Structure 1
Amino acid sequence: MKKIHVIAPSGANPEPQSPFAAIEWFKRQGFEVQNTDCVERRYQRFSGKDAERLSELNQIGKLSGEHLVLAMRGGYGLHRLLPDIEWQQIANAIQNGLQVCGHSDFTVFQLGLLAKTGAVSLAGPMLNYDFGPKESQAEIIPDPLMWKHFQAAIQDRQLDCKVEAQQSYLGKSTAGELTGTLWGGNLTILCSLVGTPYFPAQKQIQGGILFLEDVNEHPYRIERNLMQLLDAGILGSQSAVLLGGFSAYRLFDHDQGYDLHMVFEHLRKRLPEVIPLLTDLPFGHQANKVTLPVGASGKLSYNSSGFVLQSKW
């Protein structure tokens, strides 16, 4: 796959240097990069007016299977577009080989696509920050782990992720092996879709392997969202819950020792004991992230020392 088609479906680009540096980096790797004008588009806080962003999104349904569609960045904006996205046309293009990748606000599109069509998309890196520097950086060298897993996803359509980290929240079973549908993404975004037509049906995610991450959210907000998913019966219907990066938050004196680990401990107490709760998945708003197939079947083996997550789609 040597054609990258950039889309900007959410927030406007806040980093003038980042997308252009990323585009040049991809070109040096031998990729043809298309639709690059979108990185300069802006309307209010969005990367263009709603009609512009919707049209761009629906156009990807006409791309060939040689293309990888890569979101520029997250932010906010995709919720506005959901009712008018041509889901089936995009799913047909994916069936013919097209791949679509992003994370953060792009979770909206990924879960909507899964709910409406069952098509697989990629939760992984985006143009800004992952392949281009922030304004404070002179340059960026893409994280080796991220690049390795990204290539495995777009070229071989496979995931083989090994995590070596002590697992303290496994529950009743300290070791096991299971299979299920891989799904998830940004926790806040996922919660915002519960009860809407863009949240996967129970039959699609029953017994699934749910992965979650978030950014700029205090631990109590993380806990509140997890409690919502628990009380809605979503967490309790999974085969496993994988927690990725929860980054860029700040604790306060008022917290008095309450932190992210306290959140995980409380979730472990309420989550059915047969469901393993795993931590340290390299995924989220961080440099070292794997690329995960949303909607594909996955295999998970785990013990107290870590876990292995695999998929082929």
Structure 2
Amino acid sequence: MTFSMPALGPGDIVHVVAPAGPVPGEAVKHGMSILAGWGLSPVAGRHLLAREGYLAGSDEERAADLAAAFAGDGTSAVAFARGGFGTTRLLPLLDLPALAARRRLLLGYSDATALGLALSRDHPQPHLYGPGIAELGAPEPDHHVASLQAGLLGQHPGGVQTIQGLQTIRPGHVRAVVMGGCLSLVAALAGTPFMPSLQGRILFLEDVGEEPYRLDRMLTQLSAAGVVEGICALILGRFTGCGPRPGADSLEAPEVLESWARDLDVPAVAGLAAGHGPGRMTIPLGVEADLDAETGTVAFQHR
């Protein structure tokens, strides 16, 4: 079985939806114009600008937009406008096997982790783990826009995205499919029917704004729920803003993460700049990667 990332081309339709938090209208409009400038055809979900507290509309509205986006004739990709909270609430409302069978490219990070994993229960879903569309028009954009463009349009030389300079936690060399995303969401799915098996996979984890004891609790949950049983390697991203409160008696986040990683007894690296934080890259999930943990290098196989 092959695992590859579809490359979009001129005129390909990208449905932009908001399954989580409410979306700033001007920002998402600007982001969609950037997609159009790349030759793509962005289409807004019916309830894209809906608001209901910290959600972008009711559960039924958000689920309907997701279902319509995946079912749309000619749809090539389904893109999150932003993260936030709320995608896990939609999973029981969706016909996940039918959505997964469409094999649409999923774009998004943070809360999009929940959908990417839930769609991967039978076969890894092609998922570009990158910025929400509303983030593309930020006043001071960083290089993640160029990284997203390369991932969406298949511009990585030879179809391979190589990242070097990662920190070695435990050496080793493996080639396997990469799955995962935001630790908070992976932990939220642990023990539910929406969590796919990660046996034989490389697990990628990152997060933002979680104190070390909360990271410890979530990592312990992954172990206790059997989520990490059988994984073949671990890639830790950045954990931005995850330090302890001033004056708190606490371990530091790297201590918590590295101790847990070493106990897994698999090749492991840290420091991949993807997900949250400035300057992050867009990386593919649901595809194979070649990880050399000794040299701190990972090569994602887009094609």
TM-score category of the 2 structures, normalised to the smaller one? 0.7 to 0.9
Which segments of 5 or more consecutive residues in structure 2 lack a partner in the other structure?
1-8
Residue in 1 aligned with 2:182?
186
**Deviation of the 1:115 alpha carbon:** 1.2
For the Cα contact (< 8 Å) 1:103–1:125, is it kept in 2? yes
2:257 aligned with 1:264: yes
Residue 54 of structure 1 pairs with residue 63 of structure 2:
yes
Q: Deviations over 1:256-310 (max 9, x none)?
A: 56211221342245222xx122111121112433333333232212324x21222
- Measure how far apart 1:48 and its partner are: 1.0
Partner of 2:162: 161
- Partner-residue secondary structure (3-state), 1:279: strand
1:64-83 mapped onto 2 (5 Å cutoff): 64-65=73-74, 67-83=76-92
The yes-or-no answer on 1:242 pairing with 2:240 is no
Percent identity (aligned): 28
Contact 1:118 1:295 in 2 (8 A): yes
Residue 6 of structure 2 corresponds to which residue in structure 1? none
More helix by share: 1
The CA RMSD over aligned residues, in Å, is 2.4
Say if 2:32 is the partner of 1:27: no
Shift of 1:159: 4.5
Change (3 A) 1:254 1:68: same
How far apart are the structure 2 equivalents of 1:103 and 1:124?
5
Compared with structure 1, are the counterparts of its residues 74 and 308 closer, same or farther at alpha carbon in structure 2 (3 Å cutoff)? same
Distance 1:281 1:116, change over 3 A: same
Structure 1: 5+ residue runs without aligned partners?
134-138
Distance 1:117 1:269 in 2: 28
Partners of 2:45 and 2:190 lie apart in 1 by: 33
How many Å separate the matches in 2 of 1:180 and 1:303?
16
Give CA-to-partner distance per residue, 1:171-213, whole Å, 9 cap, x none: xx3xx42112210011011011111110003xxx212110001
Question: d(CA) in 1 for partners of 2:32 and 2:150?
Answer: 20
CA distance in 2, matches of 1:120, 1:18: 26
Q: CA deviation at 1:57?
A: 0.6
State the distance in 2 between where 1:254 and 1:236 align.
36
- The answer to whether the 8 A contact 1:27-1:33 is kept is yes
Mapped pair 1:150 → 2:148: yes
In structure 2, what is the equivalent of residue 303 of structure 1? 294
Classify the secondary structure of the residue corresponding to 2:107.
Answer: strand
Helix, strand or coil at the partner of 2:84: coil
Residues 282, 269 of structure 1: alpha-carbon distance in 2 compared, 3 angstrom cutoff: closer
Give the TM-score of the pair, scaled to structure 1. Answer: 0.83
Contact 1:60 1:90 in 2 (8 A): no
Q: Report the counterpart of residue 140 of structure 1 in structure 2.
A: 140
Whether the aligned pair in 2 keeps the contact of 1:104 and 1:185 (CA below 8 Å) is yes
Aligned to 1:213: 206
Deviations 1:102-159 (A, max 9, x none): 1111111111000155433322221122x022xxxxx233x33x34442343233945
SS at match of 1:104: coil
Q: How far apart in 2 are the matches of 1:82 and 1:92?
A: 16
> Aligned AA for 1:82?
L
Number of paired residues? 290
Q: 2:128 maps to what in 1?
A: 122
Give the deviation of 1:101 after TM superposition. 0.8
| Structure-2 change in CA distance of 1:257 and 1:33 (3 Å) | same
The normalised TM-score by structure 2 is 0.85
Change (3 A) 1:67 1:12: same
Kindly indicate whether the alpha-carbon contact (under 8 Å) linking 1:88 and 1:117 is maintained by their aligned counterparts in 2: no
Structure 2: distance between partners of 1:8 and 1:253? 35
Cα pair 1:64 1:93 within 8 Å, conserved? no
Partner of residue 200, structure 1: 196
TM-aligned CA distance change 1:231 to 1:50, over 3 Å = closer
The 5 A counterparts of 1:2-21 are 2=11, 3-13=13-23, 15=24, 17-21=26-30
1:312 counterpart residue number: 302
